Every structure is written in structure tokens, then in C-alpha cells.
A and B are shown apart, each in its own frame.
Chain A
Amino acid sequence: MTSTEASTGVPFTLNGEDFEADNGELLIDAAERHGVHIPRFCHHPRMKPVGMCRMCLVEVDTGRGPALQPSCMLPVTPEMKVETESEATKQAQDGVLEFLLANHPLDCPVCDKGGECPLQDNAYAYGPGESRFVEEKRHFEKPIPISDLVHLDRERCILCDRCTRFASEVAGDPLIHFIDRGSQTQVNTFPDHPFSSYFSGNTVQICPVGALTAAPYRFKARPWDLEAVESTSMIDTAGARVVLQSSQDKLVRILGVDSDAVNWSWLSDKDRFIYEANTSENRIVEPRIWSNDTHRSVRWTEATKVAARALRIDPERVAAIGGARLSLESQYAWTKLLKGVIGTDNADAQLGDGIPGALVLGVERATIAHACQPGSVIVLVGPDPKEELPTLYLRLRHAVVEDGVKLVEITPRATSLSELASVRLRATPGTVGQVVNAIVTESFDQPIGGVDGSRLRAAHRLLTSDSPVTMVFGRSNLAESARYIADAVGGIKRLREDAAFLPALRRGNVHGALEMGLTPGFLPGAVRNRRSVFGNWASTPDFEGKDTDGILRAAVAGDIDTLVLLGADPMADFPDRQLAEEALDNVGTIIAVDTFLTESSRRSDIVLPAAMFGEHDGTFLNLERRLSPIRAKVTAPGLCRPDWMIAAELSLAVGPDLGFASLDELRAEMSQVIGSLEDLDWDALASADDGPIIVPRRNWDLEFGDPAALPAVSSYGFRLVVDRKLWDEGTMIQESASLAKLAPRAELRLSPADVQLMELSNQTHVTVDQGEVSFDLPFVADPAVAPRTAWLPARLPGFDVRRLLAAGRSITNVRLRIPDHGESDHDGGSEVRHG
């Protein structure tokens, strides 16, 4: 549609009044926009119309006499005459409603949907007050679990096709479907295939009756008792807009909000059900101090005093890890405490599994809408978005499936988007930089990194077309250095000066943390520390700090006395577990600001209880640099405090004071100090549909060196790919009762060709030998894995893959063999053939 067409309205008559519709606009939407509500059940603005429920029938005259037409399927045409109140319309709508209620159970008093049920609401407005249906109603087994999270009551179902359409159209997980026909038609799963979609909770939200209910919310509250506030999900960097609902000061439900810019009302089940962790009995609710081999509860004053003592030392011996859990305001407060008051630059919000801060802060940022605009090209060099940024995945999937966006995927293993990709480059670990370089330099003569020239050429053709190019980049493999990803970004920038970038980092508000200076060398506002005056700050660090890897190494060397863990759990999250463990053992004082006793905070000398998501106000910065509000809905339990307040208290004790005593004062200072926030109307954020994008005023330029050479071929035949699954042993997931059990067991995944070559087909386990250590692991053949790579996600129950990793290795090689049968002849041998 061109802009001229869009601006020309389509004149039509609605109940005798003349209106204009947009070109191609559906009648039901056009009427709604002009204040005429047409009842509906199956129509959903974010899905294709089906015309299934027939509730939206209205009398339409397009010149051939009035006829009943489903307004959800009918684009407005010029001079169309529409009657939504006519006798024929009323009779049709009343009829449909009576039909829908004929077999619908009258169990509203015990139905979760009662009180917010479109069928219930429409039954008041349409149809006969009393049913004429005296036959026995249709019977199905009462709610059956169709997944671990969703229950289906087929008696209540009115077969609107919303959930089934969502599953196949939006989520791409067509695991629920209509079966049988006529009045026995029902939604169900295929036998032995549960509806185990990461997005299953959306079906509950869009169900127009109480047929689909979410296990965590069932019978927990009544809609009229709920209080609600709009906020932003903090489980990943997409920043999906949500509404938090509470009853009796307890979070009981999270729903998706239709944000045009971000999540289009969809949420992942992690966004939706993670609130269960808030009420976990394992919450830390009071400050604790380690003494006499145990944690002892203390008052805030005592904890603050002890912590301040540990912080009032040589700033180079103080370090802080973490901060992605915090709001933007808290991140600023902590940066000011660490860098402006204490004077240390040793602060890193990423845990060695991210992308160097300078690269993230330095690239031209795209918006999701820019990346997904019809006809554009997206390059994915990063993790499987479905596992790490599920709401972004839905947008990318929609763009490719519906809007003709072309996807070039350069990943070490197949992702959930691979089937949709126009070009798939399966670059073995350690080669992505050189693969992109080959595309840039048009070196198509020989294969590189397992990618043959024709594919490089195809990628080149797409990337150099007239279409806008957006690169989605992130860590596709924790077992290889982030350097290669940086090389790939540099390559794309060289190829397309106009390319825009979406850094697919994973952890919550990590973009806020980087922007606020929780990364070495930077101050708030993405400006480099010039060791001069900054805002109203008393001072800035006078040395270049270390990242997490460097901090932990320094700790092992005895160079760190006080380590602050800002909601970070390096023991569980840092790719090199052994290094993390030794570091924590060697640090003098560990101060953990956390919500749960994790493996790391358990070892801390001082534990400060922080307010969780839903318990404090603040601001979120997503991967587009879009600001959106984080809102408090419930009271933080016990003595928990927002992180910024903890920073302010500590600063007061360390001295000097941070200079703000309320969120408003804090925000005022941020606007004053940070150029990109100068004109921000903080109060308007809460009511804005889509938050504003901030543009940092950088005092530096991003530079790229030559791409790193290909790693040497090792006699250890397999390169390891390690990434994250949505469901794993993460603290928040494990503290959410409904989600804790969803993590799959750890299994090594190998390409079917390798399984055949190594004659593993009648084995269940394989010995993985990393040189220093070896383990017997269960394995499966998976065509998603390229030959000679072995894929194992991190943090899955059963095996900690980090036992095979070590910080500083550019790639990780492993040798595989049949357990107890000696070495396989597959590694490094010259006789290996694939095919």
C-alpha cells in the first residue's frame, strides 16, 4: 500500500451516517473506530480472520441488495451500506448467541472466566434471555491438561479457532487442532503430543470463554477482585508490555498488552508465569550477614554499616558484577555509587556470556519494526531467538512468513527460524567472522567454515540488494569467543554502511545496565569515561576497569577485596564455573544484592534483600533502546528495598550521599546528567502506547579490526556449541512452581551423519572428552546439528556443560567415543567422509 492510497479514505455508510474507512480495513475494525461495536468471538486483530463464529454478521448492501455478511472478513468497499442495528442483523446475532449457549455449560460461578468473559458479556446484550434448548448438553471429559501449563474444558469451548489459529499462525507450533466434526467438533492435541509451546499461555488470554485456563491462575482469583497496572516484562531484552494483576497484594496473573512496537499482545510463557517466583517461600526478605558459619538476619542499618566498611577501600580492589535485573534508575544509582562515589570502574552487567559493551553501545540500533518492515532482509548471527528472546521470535517469524522479509541465518546450529530462512549458513564454531568476511570480500571460490561458495554467494546477493538490512546479533555459542560475533558485526557494517543492528542479548534490562555505565570504561549515557568532570558527580574512575572475566581472574589472583553481586550468580551463569568458584573463594567480602539465595549469594558475607519485578517502580530499556515503564503492583515482602534505595543507603554510609532521596529526584538528576534523557517526560512513559527510543550522545566512535583467523583444526574432532534454552535451571524459573519442571534433561545432540559414522546408533551414551576431563553423556541424533559439532545447552538438569568450558578459549573442542570401547576412529582421521 502506498502512502497516497492509505490517505484516501473509503467512503461508506454505517447505520445511515457517512464515514471513511482506511483502504483494505475490515468492516468490523472500521465500525469500531467510528464508535460502533459489532459483537465478535473469533475475530482477533492480530490474526487472520476466519469468519467462524458468525457473531459479527451485519446487513451489508454493496449495491445488490442487503445481505448478511461477516464483518470480520469483509474489507470496506466504496459506497457500502451497513446496518448493524437492523432487524435482520439483530435476528442473526441473537440466533448465533442462542446457538453458542445451547451446549455451553452454565457454570459461570465456578468458571475462571466469569466476570471477564466475552460470551457472558454478549449474552447480556444479545440473544434470548432464556434458552430454549431442553436437550441434554454435549459432554466431554472436564478439563484435560493439554500441556503442563494449560487446561482445556471442551464443554465450554465455542470453537472460535482463536487458540488453534494462534498455535499454527502466530507461534508456528501447530500442536492443537480441531478434531471430529459437526457438534462433536473439538479442539485437542494429537495423541501423546502435548501443547508444549513456549507461547501456550497466549491461548488462555485470547480464549473468549473459560475453555482454556492456565494452571498457575486457576481458581486463584475472581476478575472483579483484581487490581492491575501496566508494566514491562523483564525476562528478556525484548521488553514485552504486560499488565500485572494482583489480588490481596499478591501477583496472580500477567497478561500481554498489545504494544504495536514490541509484542503485539503476545507473551512467552516465561513472561507470563514467572511471577510465581515473587511469592516463593525462598525469597530473601531481610538483610543477612555471614557469621559463625551461618547467615544471620540483621537490621538494615547494621548490614549497611558492614557493607560500607567493605566498600571504603582502594577502588581498584572493589568490583561489581550484574545489574540486568535492575531498573534503569537503579542502574544509574548503582553506577553512581560504584563509579562516582567509590571510584571503581570494575563493573560489568554481563557475565561473560554476552557481547562487549562497547560493541552493543556503538552500533546503529534498529527497531523491531524497522527490521520487520515488508521486503527487508534480516541477518541472524546469534542465539535461537525462540529460546532466548521469544517475543522477538514471534515478530521475526511474522515478518518472514507474512511480510516477505528474507532471512539470512549464520549460526552454528539450526534454529527455530531455519526452516523459514532464505539462506542458511551453518558456520562451525569459530568461523562466523571469516564466513561473513568471505561474503564481504566476495570470496566464493572455496568453502569456509563448512559453508560452500554458492551459499555465500546467495547471502551476498540478498545482503547487497536494495532492501534495508538489519542484523540481529548475539552469542550463538557460549563455547566460542564473543570476538567472532564482533567480527561478523564488523563485516556486515563494512558491507552495508546503512545496516542497522538489534543486539540480541538475553538478560532482562541488560541494555539499560550497559547504557547506564555498568560496563567497564563507560559512564551513564553510553559515553566513554574521559576521567574528567561528569555531571554533578564528585569524581569518575581514574583507571579502566575489568569485565566479569577480568574481575574473576583478578579475584583469583587476590586483587579484589570486595565483590558486589548485583543480582548476579556467577557460580551458575559464568561460562567457566571453576574460575567463578575460585574467585568467590578468594574474595575478602562478597556483598550480594539479591532476591533468592543462589549458589553465589549463599557464599556471600552480606546479603541485601532487593525488591523484585512487580514490587518497584522504574524504567526498562529494551534492545531497541526503547524506554517503557516498570511498575510496582504489590508490596515488596519483609524488608526488601528497591535497588536504587540500597545504593543510596550504602552511599550515605560510604559517603558522600548520592544526592537523591526519591525516585523523582533520581529521575531529575538522570535527565540532567544524561544527554539522551534530557527532554524525557518520565511521567508520560506510564501512559504511552509505545515508549520513546533514546539516542545516546556518544563521545566516541566504534572501530573494528581485522577478523580473527580461523581457529586451528584440532585433533579433538568435535566443536562444542553451548547456548541456553527457555526452560532451564535458572533461579527465577526454579522458584516458579509451574515452570520449574519444564526444563528438559541435558542431552548431547549430534548430527545423524556423525551418529552413523561413529556407529553410535545402538548406544545411549557417548563419552565426551575435553582433554582434562571426560564424561559419559546421553545423546540424541538431531538434524539441527551440523556435522562435527556437538550441541548441549547450558543449565539443564542432569549435567553442567560448563564443566567442559574454560574462560579464554576461543573455541571448545571435544573428543567423542563409545563409552568403554576406546577411542572412536572418527576424530581427526583422514578417512572421515560425510554424506
Chain B
Amino acid sequence: MPTNDYVAHAVGYVDNEGPKIVTSRFSDPDSYTLDRYEATGGYNATRAVLQMNPADVHSQVRDAVLLGRGGAGFPAGVKWGFMPPIWPRYLVVNGDESEPGTYKDRLLMERDPHQLIEGCLITCYALGLNTCFLYVRGEMALAQERLARALNDAYAAGYVGRNMFGTDVGIDVVLTWGAGAYIVGEETALIESLEGNRGMPRLKPPFFPAAKGLYMKPTIVNNVETLANVPWIVLNGADAYKRYGSERSPGTRMLAISGHVNRPGVYEVEQGKVTFRELFYGDNYCQGIRDGNELKMFIPGGGSAPWFFPEQLDLPLEAADVGAAGSMLGSGAIVVMDETTDAVRACLRVVRFFARESCGKCTPCREGTNWEEKILQRIDDGYGRLEDIDLLLDIGSQISPGNYPTASFEAEGLEANPFPPKQTTICPLGPSSVAPITSAIRRFRHEFEEKIAASALTNGHHGDADHDEHPEEVSA
């Protein structure tokens, strides 16, 4: 019997109608056990693969056009081909899911750890390597626990390790976890952390992981969801996989919807087949905005993504379309905000996240995000100045030069800038803080101005605002 029931099993996942590729076992209460996994066809894919030529396994994944699910959406099969013929080489699984709004990988690790382990084994076999590192986010205690247990069971069953499944193939899966830093979700920072160093990104070039990754050896870093798809693809074939989703983006995606909808949660959705409108309002999905309110804006792909507004509701949930509209589907974290939302405060909340999570390496990110947060906090506290609005945009352009892509461009009849933006930093964390600012200011500048107009500085009551907000402190 499971001993770790302190987190309710079903939290977060919505078992709706539709094809299930990676969440097929999620509704079973014991989905994370080896018994349940094997009872539902688990490890058959590995058995089959071990009879195949590694190159054939690789080409099957390439033919399936399995797009990376970590955010950038790069085809995994193509990425695997980037490794030079150098050994040792490594597979690293990026389970450091921490983008604001994302919680799909956590569910995959908590609910179906064996599926991920099997994905790792198949990938290792296809790439001719024998060591895989599973890096799990530091805060995900249940995922760590269940993965550890699953690994122990799989090792005990002879499915992982030396002579797996009685063959002469040996693949080790090493479980490790972080100390709690968003930046470690960035692959080069993850590698640094895995090596035991402070998690700070490396510059690409020269440190492209496929060529110079973990311990300066060729390394493939894949997202949890990406690898969770692999056993299904191997078992059912690339053609079967491509029957789901759109031509450009086959298969399904796990989307994590949070915010002001009636039924938030993680949904497995066919790629490109559903629009944001259907997702938010459809009975099969989120069932509408809370209290029947109007939609004000939504973040289509995690805190780093420029905001979308009601006019983008009919875009299909496909990376390319979302990208062309000036944002990104990223890791599939959708945050919905209704008309009651304070745009300035929402912006502050997201910016604060990035400011606190900046690793401190690049000056523009370290100093810029902190400055942005301070200005936004000041505006929200009632000490804003009109020039702060342009200053915010200016700081943004110093972190991410040029026009930052925003969906508002299109609404204003301007050409949308494609994502990703330019950056003066090594990794995209700093530029990510610019997304909420440009989105909020371009669309809701008046809200900033109203707040500033009401501020103590603008009204000449320098320093009074605090007292107004806390009259009891004045009398004390």
C-alpha cells in the first residue's frame, strides 16, 4: 500500500474527454506503482526497443516530430542528432519545473514515474549512452519520493541498471534534486547545479549542452513531458502519434490552466485542435470565467510570455500560431485573469518573481529586474511618478533591446515581433521580466496613470499616502 498519501492524489488533474497519451493512468489511485504500470502495458516499449537497432528507435522519434515540451518546442529527434560521436555522453531530464503557472511535469512525476523512467531508458538506448540524470525540482517532495520508489522498484525488477531485462544492455538512472532555484530550469544552469556548482547559466556558445554539457561531455537535456511521450511513440509508432494534434505539432500537450476560470487544472489537449476560447469556456475544459466575469487578459505560456487579450481567444493552441501573434505557448502554463484584476499589481507580481529568482550573474538581469520591481512596488504603494512608466519601458529595453514583442502590437495595427526577444543577458530570465511590463503598459497604460494620478507624489502630499492607508498607525 502506498505510504505517502499526505498529498491528495487527484489534485490538479482534470480527467476530461479526449485522447490520452501521457495521462492515461492518472485517474488510477495507484498509478505510480510498478504493478499498475505493468498491468497497463508498462515497460513493454522497453522490451520491444531492446530488440531494435538504436538508430531505428531514434528515427521513430524523429519521424513522430516529438516537439520539446519544456518551452522552446524544438523537435527532440533532431536535438538528439546534435551529439558528436564522443563518449561518455549523458541524458539529463529537466524536472526542475518552476515557471509560474506550470505544474504538469510535477503531475507526470508524481502520478506516473515509471512512464518517465521508461522514456529515459528508451532515449538512452537510442542515443547509445548508459547514464541518465533525473533532476527534480527541490520543492517537489512527493515527486522525488515517488520517483525514488519507482526507481528502486525498477532496479529491483531488473528493468534499470546492469543487464536490464536480461540483456547485456546496462543503463543507470540517477535521481537528484535541486536546492530550489527557478534558474536551474535553464538547461546550462541545471548542468552547473548537477555538477555541484552554483546554478548559473553558461554562455551558449560555446557551451551548447549537446556538444559541451555535463562535465563538458555531449549531453541531451530533455523535459519530463517530452520523455513521457517516448514509450507511447515506440509502442504505437510515429504514424499513430501523428494522427493526434496538428500537422506541425503532432500529439497532445499537457496544459496547466490557473487563475480565474471555473475549473482550473492540468488538461491533456490535442495540439492545435483547440482554441483558447474553447479551452476557457468549453464544458469539456475550464467551463468559463469565474462569476461570469469578463476576461481581461491571459498569459498563454508561463510568466515569461507576453500577455494575450480577448482578441487572441480564437488562436489555436499551437506553438507556431501563438509565436506569430507575439507570445509563446512555452511550457503550457496558462494564467487567466478576469476584469477584476489590477493590471499594475499583476505585473508587479510576475516581475517580483523574476527579480527574486535572478541568479545574479548578468548585470542587466540582476540590477534591472530588481529596479523594475522597486518601481512597480512604488507605483502600487502610491508613490508613482509619471516618468516611471517610460523608465520601466527603458529599463526593459536595456535588458532586452529593441521592441519587446507584445500582442498589443497587433491590436494597435502594428506588426507583431516574433518571440523570442533580443537580450543583453546570457539566459532569457531577465528578458522574461520585460514581458509583463510591456504587455501591461502597452495595453493598460491608463491604469498606471490612474494609480500615479492618485499618488501622494503627484498630489503634492509627499509621504502622506502611507498614513492614509494605515490611519490606525497615525493615531497610535
Contact = CB atoms under 8 A, between A and B. Distances in A.
Question: Does B associate with A?
Answer: yes
Interface of A: 50-55, 57, 67-68, 70, 73-74, 88, 91-92, 94-96, 98-100, 102-103, 132-133, 135, 158-159, 177-178, 180-185
Given A135-B375, A181-B181, A182-B355, A55 B367 contact: no
Given A91-B398, A95-B364, A182 B424 contact: no
B434 interface: no
Interface-centre pick from B198, B368, B424 (highest chain A CB count, 10 A): B424
B359 A182 contact: yes
Contact of B391 (A88, A132, A178): A132
19 contacts: A52-B361, A52-B363, A54-B425, A67-B422, A73-B206, A88-B401, A91-B401, A95-B397, A96-B363, A96-B398, A98-B398, A99-B368, A132-B391, A177-B198, A181-B358, A182-B355, A182-B370, A183-B355, A183-B366
A99 B372 CA distance: 11
Contacts of A68: 401, 422-424
Contacts of B391: 132
A158 B426 contact: no
A50 B357 CA distance: 20
A53 B363 CA distance: 5
A407 B397 CA distance: 52
Contacts of B369: 182-183
Nearest to A93: B424
Given A57-B424, A132-B391, A182-B360, 18 more contacts: A51-B203, A51-B362, A91-B397, A92-B398, A92-B401, A92-B424, A94-B398, A95-B424, A96-B398, A133-B371, A135-B371, A135-B374, A177-B198, A181-B357, A181-B360, A183-B360, A183-B366, A185-B366
Contacts of A67: 422
B356 interface: yes
B362 A182 contact: no
B364 A54 contact: yes
A95 B359 CA distance: 19
Nearest to B375: A135
Given A68-B422, A68-B424, A135-B374, A182 B366 contact: yes
Nearest to A92: B424
Nearest to B398: A95
Contacts of B366: 99, 159, 182-183, 185
B79 interface: no
B378 interface: yes
A182 B371 contact: no
A617 to B, nearest CB: 45
Interface string B358-402: 111111101111110011001000000000000100100111010
A659 B113 CA distance: 91
Interface-centre pick from A51, A73, A94, A183 (highest chain B CB count, 10 A): A183
Interface string B324-363: 0000000000000000000000000000000111111111
Nearest to A95: B398
Interface of B: 181, 183, 198, 203, 205-206, 355-364, 366-371, 374-375, 378, 391, 394, 397-399, 401, 422-426
Interface-centre pick from B205, B360, B363, B394 (highest chain A CB count, 10 A): B363
B384 to A, nearest CB: 11
A60 to B, nearest CB: 11
Contacts of A135: 371, 374-375, 378
Contacts of B399: 95
Nearest to A136: B374
Nearest to A184: B360
Nearest to A57: B424
A73 B359 CA distance: 19
A183 B358 contact: yes
B188 to A, nearest CB: 12
A442 B177 CA distance: 50
Closest 6 pairs (CB-CB, A-B): A185-B360, A95-B398, A183-B370, A99-B367, A182-B358, A135-B374
Nearest to B201: A51
B175 to A, nearest CB: 25
A181 B203 CA distance: 19
B203 A99 contact: no
Nearest to B388: A134
Contacts of B378: 135
Interface-centre pick from B205, B361, B375, B378 (highest chain A CB count, 10 A): B361
A103 B369 CA distance: 13
B198 A99 contact: no
Nearest to B369: A182
Contacts of B183: 181
Contacts of A103: 367, 370
A183 B367 contact: yes
A403 B423 CA distance: 35
A41 B368 CA distance: 18
A74 to B, nearest CB: 8
Contacts of B394: 132
A92 B400 CA distance: 9
A180 B198 CA distance: 10
B349 to A, nearest CB: 16
B424 A100 contact: no
Contact of B363 (A74, A158, A180): A158
Contacts of A178: 198, 360
B333 to A, nearest CB: 21
A99 B364 contact: yes
A183 B433 CA distance: 14
A88 B401 CA distance: 8
Interface-centre pick from B367, B399, B422 (highest chain A CB count, 10 A): B367
Contacts of A74: 205
Contacts of B181: 181
B360 A159 contact: yes
Contacts of B359: 181-182, 185
B356 A54 contact: no
B286 to A, nearest CB: 34
A132 B389 CA distance: 12
A92 B425 CA distance: 10
Nearest to A74: B205
A574 B181 CA distance: 58
B424 A54 contact: yes
Nearest to B367: A99
A683 to B, nearest CB: 46
B320 to A, nearest CB: 21
Contacts of A177: 198
Nearest to B425: A54
Interface-centre pick from A54, A103, A159 (highest chain B CB count, 10 A): A54
B385 to A, nearest CB: 8
Contacts of A95: 364, 397-399, 401, 424
Contacts of B362: 51-52, 54
A178 B198 CA distance: 8
A74 B205 CA distance: 8
A91 B402 CA distance: 10
Contacts of B375: 135
Contacts of B425: 54
A159 B391 CA distance: 24
A70 B369 CA distance: 20
Interface-centre pick from B206, B368, B369, B391 (highest chain A CB count, 10 A): B368
Contacts of A182: 355-360, 366, 369-370
A809 B164 CA distance: 65
Nearest to A41: B363
Contacts of A52: 361-363
A98 B425 CA distance: 15
